[in-house]
Amino acid sequence: MRILNKKARDSDCPKGLHYKYKTMNPFLNLAHICPSTRALGPGNRFAVWVQGCPFNCKGCIATEWIPFKKAQAVEVSDLAQAIISRGDVDGITLSGGEPMMQAGRLALLLRLVREQRPELNVIVFSGFTLKQLVWDEAKELIGHCDLLIDGQYVAHLNDGNGLRGSSNQQFHFLTDMLLPFREEITRIRSEIEIHLLDDGVLMAGIPSPNFNW
């Protein structure tokens, strides 16, 4: 996968709910990727975190991914090929930041991946509720999603249960691909993972209450 050495251009950073990338070679503005994690859904997953979030949830563990700033510009087709080439992954998890702020490009990513790897399931985390996802790009992304976990994080509602940060967040099984894992997803919270990087560490997963990072 080719990650540009330069930061993302200003035009690559989403500016609003109805932002749409219109060039022939769209780029995603990413906070991070993790090609292999078991902390964000069933099986081995390719995780993608986008940069930028319109919410400012108290207790957010990834505050550096909230600002709409230039991060890593990754061409959609390059990221798709990186996922396709990982024969050991069972699914994709999209988080952030807020995936819906780059919904059109993420929808394109999933379409490209599923043209060659239709067996991969997709989980998307969003601070928006399903009822709020009414603009075209969001609907397009949801159309490629098997499980949506929606709602903003509320720290005092973090009960340590399931693949969600707080109990107000809802699980929407949009297809039957992940229904065999329903009990695991809704009731069991995986251990967090710490990945050592060249320039620091990456935490993958959903922390339990009172976790200190």
What per-residue confidence (pLDDT) applies to 18? 34
pLDDT digits (tens, 9 = 90+) for 167-182: 999 999 999 999 999 9
Residue 20 covered by a domain: no
Residue 16 covered by a domain: no
CATH code of the domain covering residue 49: 3.20.20.70
What per-residue confidence (pLDDT) applies to 182? 97
Residue 208 covered by a domain: no
Residue 204 covered by a domain: no
- In the chain, count H helices and then E strands: 4, 10
Residue 154 covered by a domain: yes
Residue 63 covered by a domain: yes
CA nearest to 92, candidates 127, 123, 61, 130 = 123
Report, in angstroms and rounded to the nearest whole number, the Rg of the chain calculated over CA atoms. Answer: 16
What per-residue confidence (pLDDT) applies to 203? 85
pTM exceeds 0.95, yes or no:
no
Residue 212 covered by a domain: no
Q: What kind and span of H or E run contains 1? A: none
What per-residue confidence (pLDDT) applies to 76? 97
Residue 47 covered by a domain: yes
The total domain count for the chain is: 1
Q: Order of strands, edge to edge, in the sheet holding 72-75?
A: 3-7, 72-75, 27-37, 45-50, 91-95, 121-126, 147-150, 170-173
Residue 52 lies in domain: 3-8+25-198
Q: Give pLDDT tens digits along the chain (213 positions).
A: 434 433 433 333 333 333 333 444 599 999 999 999 999 999 999 999 999 999 999 988 889 999 999 999 999 999 999 999 999 999 999 999 999 999 999 999 999 999 999 999 999 999 999 999 999 999 999 999 999 999 999 999 999 999 999 999 999 999 999 999 999 999 988 788 888 888 888 888 888 777 766
CA–CA separation, 134 vs 70, rounded Å? 27
CA nearest to 47, candidates 33, 57, 59 = 33
